[in-house]
Amino acid sequence: MQRNFFPFITTGWLLLTLIMVGLSFYADYNHLKKNLTSDAQFVYASVYEKAYINEVLLQSFTVLVSSSPNDHEAIRSFANEMRKRYPHIERLQIQQQQKSITTNYGKASDYNLDPTNDDFSARFPIIFIEPLNPDTRYLLNKDLFSDPIFSSTIGFARKYHQPITSPPFKLDEKQNGFGLFLAFFERNTAPTNDNLYIASLVINIEGMLPNTSFLSDNTSIKLMDEKGSLLDEHLSEQEMQPPSWLPILEETRTINRFGQSFQLQITHQFGLKNINVGMLLILLCCSLSAYSLLMAYLRQKVQSAIEHSTIYATLNNERQQLETRIHTRTSELREQLIENRRLTHQVLAVQERERRNLSRELHDELGQSLTAIRTDAKILKRIHPEESSIVNQTAESIDAIAQNIYDVTYGMMRTLRPSALDDLGLVDALQECIISSRFDEHGISLHKDFHGALNEMSEDYNITLFRLAQEAFSNIIKYARARNVWIDIHRVSQGSRKEISGDRLEIMISDDGIGFDIAGEAFKKGFGLIGMRERVRALEGVFQIRNNHNRGTRIIAIIPLLFSEPEKETEATRSEVAITDPVVPAALVH
């Protein structure tokens, strides 16, 4: 690093310091906002609880009055107890519907109980009030329906029999309050004009808000009605007026339950007291210390740059020498790999020759002996045709045993060297392999798709494809628990796949079985998959095994066709390899 970069580093340090200071202010702002949200939630919970208490108290009050409206002693005892328990309840009142004294709204006898009829003539005087003292005694027999503040509220309560609040009004103590009304009929009696009552609570709005002792400085709580009109406001202490350019935080909550609708607004003026000065000092000290250490480090780094360049040149020279040795060793390993694959190909070719010879020996030697045994058994059966004869039964048993031995031997010969591969070609040999695998007996459906000139390839490709299919079918039947098997063998010459182009074989064998851990078990247990992979690689192909989507296993092999024409064989050679048996039972011919 050069010294002319130092001014840019200093500028970056200043910007970073400003960002850190800004983040500190932002953290203080977020902390204050969280506190404000917590305070707003507490106030909301407090007001909500009191609104709930108001509704429950009103419901309990109506239940008590509806059961015994004339038992004023019990009602007053209940009301007195509730006022002691809940100080924000100023009064508990009962209004009863009575005939109107005047005829301002019609005849006095025209009032009725139809809640859908807004045209009625009645009055609702207060018949009970608690506390009953000189300050409230004048309210007895006062018709609240004639008061414009309560007329619409009482009309709604009479019509719908649901809790409803009145508009705010001034209490006797010059404080704001509101009423909560609920209409009901006397219990256990038929609804009549004379047993309709309205219970009401007069609530001190100031008592709805909690104490502000928990609030921080410069914080205010406002309680407003649903129209946004201010009902009450509590302010915390203010030691000094904060600057006007600082932000104001605000939280709003709405309560609309139990017939009571309120809006809560809590605001806080962000002030200098809310700034964490200690954290700012720590940040500045840490920033200055880091800048000093960084500059010292950079100076030391500039001084050691020359030494590093010398060391780098030496290391680069050694690296080039090491790369040369690695390249030489890689070439040797590549040649060794080619030689190993050639040897693998030779070993597989020798193995197939041995299998062919062994299959021929089994056919020529054991097959003729079994045929002779069966012929002698048939002669004995003709000489002794009686089924009850011991000789006949023994000859029948000998014939069956010889036939079973021949079936087993024939199966071994087909496994060692399929005769159809030499006599009919690859496609028919694969068909015979499919039949001998007996997928139907295991409840497996096979789906095959052969495409291209598959019978016009040399011996190496034919036997490789056959062994791939044979080993794959064996593994599927033993381990996969599959219901479907797909085998696709295509010979194509257009395009490319897996970096192999031109004339090539594309093989895919898949199933929908239970699958297995390919990464952990594919080439670590047994030699079946290893043999399949080495056969493909011996022909310079690509072998891949992976999961078949969500279920089962898929094997893919791409083999380039370097020697596509089949080797010429003489008729004598074909006659030696062919497995023919004039006495093969019909059950063995598929």
Domain end marker among 361, 390, 417:
417
- Residue 373 in any domain: the answer is yes
Furthest C-alpha separation in the chain: 141
User: Are 400 and 459 part of one and the same domain?
Assistant: no
Average pLDDT, integer, range 359-379: 78
User: Is residue 43 domain-resident?
Assistant: no
pLDDT confidence of residue 567: 45
Q: What is the pLDDT of residue 550?
A: 75
Last residue of a domain, one of 383, 417, 451: 417
Count the domains in the chain: 2
498 and 577 belong to one structural domain: yes
| Same domain, yes or no: 464 and 399 | no
Per-chain mean pLDDT for the chain: 80
- The CATH number of the domain where 575 resides is what? 3.30.565.10
Q: What confidence score (pLDDT) does residue 568 get?
A: 40
Place of tokens 């210390």: 289
pLDDT in tens, 554-564: 999 999 987 65
Q: Domain boundary residue among 417, 433, 448?
A: 417
- Write out pLDDT tens, residues 429-476: 888 888 888 899 999 999 999 998 888 888 888 888 888 998 899 889
Do residues 436 and 580 share a domain?
yes
pLDDT band at 101 (very low <50, low <70, confident <90, very high): low
Q: How confident is the model at residue 582, as a pLDDT?
A: 34
Res. 118: pLDDT tops 70:
no
**Are residues 507 and 564 part of one domain?**
yes
Does 427 share its domain with 331? no
Reading the block at residue 94, the tokens are 């009962």
**How far apart, in whole angstroms, are the C-alpha atoms of residue 235 and residue 218?**
8
Q: Give per-residue pLDDT as tens, 231-289.
A: 888 777 655 555 666 778 888 888 887 777 888 888 877 766 777 778 888 888 988 88
Q: Angle 528-538/277-361 helices, nearest 10 degrees? A: 80
236: CB partners within 8 A, 6+ apart: 212, 215, 216, 217, 218, 219, 220
What pTM, to 2 d.p., does this model score? 0.45
Distance from chain centroid for Cα 575? 66
* Position 299 confidence tier, pLDDT thresholds 50, 70, 90: confident
Range name among 23-37, 358-372, 410-424 with the lowest pLDDT average: 410-424
Clarify whether residues 389 and 350 are in a common domain.
Answer: yes
Range of the domain at 332: 306-417
Identify whether 233 is part of a domain.
no
| 316 and 384 assigned to the same domain | yes
pLDDT band at 199 (very low <50, low <70, confident <90, very high): very high
pLDDT surpasses 50 at 103: no
Res. 115 pLDDT band, cuts 50 70 90: low
Domain identity same for 463 and 540: yes
Q: Is residue 566 part of a domain?
A: yes
Q: Is the dihedral of CA 455, 458, 462, 465 positive or negative?
A: negative
If asked whether residues 440 and 579 sit together in one domain, one would say yes
Q: Are 392 and 381 in contact (CB under 8 A)?
A: yes
Are 398 and 512 part of one and the same domain?
no
Q: Looking at the domain assignment, is residue 37 inside a domain?
A: no
Query: Across the strands, what pairs with 511?
Result: 485
Residues 434 and 575 in one domain: yes
